[in-house]
Amino acid sequence: MVEAQSWTTRRGSNPRLESTDQVLDIPVTPTAEIKHQQGVGSLISPNLLTALIIASWYLSNIGVLLLNKYLLSFYGYRYPIFLTMLHMISCASYSFVAIRWLEIVPFQQIHSRKQFFKILALSAIFCFSVVCGNTSLRYLPVSFNQAIGATTPFFTAIFAFVITCKKESAEVYLALVPVVLGIVLASNSEPLFHLFGFLMALGSTAGRALKSVVQGLLLTSDAEKLHSMNLLLYMAPMAAMILLPFTLYIEGNVTAVTIEKARLDGFMIFLLVANATVAYLVNLTNFLVTKHTSALTLQVLGNAKAAVAAVVSVLIFRNPVTVMGMTGFAVTLMGVVLYSEAKKRSKLTAH
């Protein structure tokens, strides 16, 4: 006859229950958001999702360039300030929907008047950069415009030194030499070179660099830091209000002209809506690429994007290019890559 085991005896016979400190983890019931994410994840693999996001980023970035060029140069819609204002209105509207309704990121409020004026200053710089960029597309081919835009690290280093007195290593400054040299070569051999367009493209590039430096300087405290999507939500309507008097004064009765053009050609409405929508998608996909990869990956993709956009624009618009111009562009991109690597090594050394 087998002796009946007590509860203690049975417990002792199971090594998994030996410890009196054993804690059994009970899985938490997933929230609706987690269930939704799990549902999306089950439909598409993470690698494929990342690839689709990167492809969307490329399409939106190159698409907005080509649409701007087509509208301003080939379609005859010569109102870059009004077009930029439409971009800002689009970004404000879509950002509101994405944050307040779709809740892509948590909503953040402006906490003080001081923070408001800091964002207003960034909006003014943002306006200057985008208007200059759109204006330059009236006079320059996209390929040359992108070559000039690749010099952003040069202006960033200058503004960082002038505004914050931040010095980089000698290796970083040496990497900027081919960045400038490449643009000199490309400018001297550009068949469609236009001085005003060149100055506008330089202004746009300098504005982008200045915004990044000033943003890091102004919104430094934890209380003032805003997520990039929330920052766009506040900057876009401010930028639109800044641009409104300029477009009315410089571009005349642009609203009436736009309505008349749209009445005569319905395709005009599609072009403007598509252009404004893609302008917002550029900002949205920037955030998504960083979220699903890293800021460094976005930087590398940006370097490659300039070359891809240049090639695509040449294939579509058939603008003439020279061997020396392509060589100069390649030298500039090589300098940007060297600059990125030098900055990365400098940060690792500092830590």
Dump pLDDT digits (tens) for 159-215.
999 998 888 888 989 999 999 999 999 999 899 999 999 999 999 999 999 998 998
What is the sign of the dihedral through the CA atoms of 253, 257, 260 and 262? negative
- Identify the three-state secondary structure at position 92: helix
Give the Cα separation of 202 and 101 in Å (integer): 38
Give the Cα separation of 293 and 301 in Å (integer): 11
* pLDDT per position as a tens digit, 243-290: 999 999 999 899 999 999 999 998 999 999 999 999 999 999 988 988
Per-residue model confidence (pLDDT) at position 126: 94
pTM of the model: 0.82
Give the Cα separation of 133 and 175 in Å (integer): 25
> Which residues touch 250 (CB under 8 Å, ≥6 apart)?
81
Looking at per-residue pLDDT, the higher value among 207 and 28 belongs to: 207
Give the Cα separation of 107 and 105 in Å (integer): 6
Give the Cα separation of 142 and 96 in Å (integer): 31
Would the pLDDT of 11 be above 50?
no
Buried residues in 258-271 as b, exposed as e (16+ CB within 10 A): beebeeeeeebeeb
Give the Cα separation of 83 and 43 in Å (integer): 38
The two structure tokens encoding residue 319 = 């603008």
* pLDDT per position as a tens digit, 289-341: 888 887 667 777 887 888 899 999 999 999 999 999 999 999 999 998 898 88
Scanning the structure block, which residue is given the tokens 């009946």? 4
